[in-house]
Amino acid sequence: MSDQGKGEFWAFLAGVLAGGVVALLYAPARGEETRERIRETAGELKVKGTEFASHARDEAGKVIAGSRQFIDETGHRIDEAVHRGREKIETAEEKVMEKLETAKETVKQKVEQVKGKSAPVEEEPAEGTV
């Protein structure tokens, strides 16, 4: 229950109590009857206050239970999203590593081709020398 709700409850209770006391004091009755009515009214107010507090506790319990369920479900969804994200990162990493290996092999092959084409050429003896 919010603080505002508590204040409203106590204001209501004080208003009922004050109204009951004023009504009893202005009603034409003997002192003993008036005091008995005040006791009865106080007893009724106590019962109503207890019922209200019990109801408020029950409602607060429902809200708390719902909040806990929401938090648990949200936590599970977050865990699942993190797991899926990690899987995607691992898959992407594997693909990058495969492409990197392919690129290395391609570079090695090209280097070998270039080496093969530029093999040292034996020089022919110059004319006049034997």
Each residue's pLDDT tens digit, 94-117: 999 999 999 999 999 999 888 887
* C-alpha separations of 94 from 103, 108, 125 in Å: 14, 21, 56
Region for 128 from its dihedrals, namely left if φ exceeds 0, alpha if ψ lies in -120 to 50, beta otherwise? left
Any idea where the domains of the chain sit in the sequence?
14-99
- CB-side neighbour CA atoms (13 Å) of 118: 6
Note the pTM of the prediction, 2 decimals.
0.46
Helix (H) or strand (E) holding 129: none
Band the pLDDT of 1: cuts 50, 70, 90: very low
- In whole angstroms, what is the distance from residue 4 CA to residue 62 CA? 19
Each residue's pLDDT tens digit, 56-96: 899 999 999 999 999 999 999 999 999 999 999 999 999 99
CA angle 26, 29, 34 (to 5 degrees): 80
